Structure 1
Amino acid sequence: MNCGKIKIGVMGSAADTLPTEGRASLEAKGEALGQAIAARRAVLLTGATTGIPYLVGRAAKAAGAFHIGISPAANRDEHVKAYGLPLDACDVIIYTGFGLKGRNVVLVRSCDIAIFVGGSIGSLNEFTIAYDEGRIIGCLTGTGGVADCASQLLEAFPKRSTAQLLLADEPNFLLAACLKAYEERGG
């Protein structure tokens, strides 16, 4: 039974892991992804963090999407002061108090679709959770990190899962493919 809008999680490179080379292209893809999510009237979930998730969230919110941030902090003060995370790109922030790894579980389990743009160790953790949870996983290739290594990871570390991995180098195409796979599953 469908109980509302599709929830799309975007995970990826935080500000401290963004590459300097090709950064403008990466940021443009992130903003295009945010606009595409808004155009499809989906709800966006991120880790209420910096970098690519922030850019996607800001672009999606500006284009009319509802953006929920899942914070590792227990409250607003800790979110800003201890974690150094922004407040302005989210419509709502859920303060989990679970730290970064606990936040990742809440974030991924709250999503219907998980999309990765770049990504370092934290995103790798989110990727393995999404795979274990059998999510539709989209990787925006050509953005580095987890998004470009996902196929090799699954080949190197095989495990049975109902997850579906979809790869594309263009945000609109990737999102459309993920939404189609989600619909074919029965949403």
Structure 2
Amino acid sequence: MNAQRYVGVVGPGEATPEQRRLARQVGGLLAGRRAVVVTGGLGGVMAAACRGAVEAGGTTLGLLPGDDRAEGNPYLTVAVPTGLGEMRNALLVRSSDALIAVGGSWGTMSEIALAVRIGVPVISIGGWRMPAAGVLDVESPAEAVECLHALLWRKDPV
């Protein structure tokens, strides 16, 4: 039996239309693999990934920076107001089996750095180039999810 996976999708809250398009595809593909999509729960890449997942019948988890569930994007299945501000990035990374980064921002970089530091696999689509090993750069949402499949799902016993 395959264990359910939790995959963090991270990226700019102020995302470009292309980043939102890519994130929406990522969310839909992850939902197709029955992964829970974990985000910071706000807009931009976070909302787009959640939208894609919900449209594909998936589950989304938003770890919000503030104290109010109402601050979350409308595509959250579960909204957790952490009250941690940017410190929720560590909670997101620790809650995820892997990360897919879409685009780049300082918050995204902090999540990537934490993930690499603790051994959580990171796949990046159109993000900032990292100066050290630990981040796999890919060209498309499909390639990102296939790489995760090889890393996560194929490890499960049949």
Does TM, scored on the shorter chain, surpass 0.5?
A: yes
Which residue identity does 2:9 align to in structure 1? Answer: V
Distance 1:94 1:3 in 2: 26
Distance of aligned partners of 1:128 and 1:63 in 2 relative to their CA distance in 1, 3 Å threshold = same
Q: Deviations over 1:11-47 (max 9, x none)?
A: 00112xx3xxxx4433221221111111111110000
Determine which structure has more spread, i.e. the larger CA radius of gyration: 1
Identify the residue that residue 149 of structure 1 maps to in structure 2: 129
Q: Deviations over 1:77-116 (max 9, x none)?
A: 6xx3xxxxx331101111111111x210111100001110
Name the Cα RMSD after superposition.
2.1
Deviation (angstroms), 1:166: 1.9
Identify the residue that residue 25 of structure 2 maps to in structure 1: 32
Structure 2: segments with no counterpart, 5+ residues: none
Identify the residue that residue 114 of structure 1 maps to in structure 2: 99
Distance 2:129 2:73 in 1: 30
Q: Deviations over 1:41-65 (max 9, x none)?
A: 1110000011011111111111111
Distance 2:112 2:95 in 1: 14
Q: Among residues 54, 77, 80, which one is paired with 2:47 in the alignment?
A: 54
TM-score under structure 2 length normalisation = 0.89
Distance 1:38 1:109 in 2: 20
Distance 1:32 1:87 in 2: 17
Q: Are the equivalent residues in 2 in contact too, given 1:166–1:178 (CA < 8 A)?
A: no
Distance of aligned partners of 1:177 and 1:3 in 2 relative to their CA distance in 1, 3 Å threshold = closer
Amino-acid identity (%): 26
Identify the residue that residue 160 of structure 1 maps to in structure 2: none
Distance of aligned partners of 1:132 and 1:65 in 2 relative to their CA distance in 1, 3 Å threshold = same
SS at 2:75 equivalent? coil
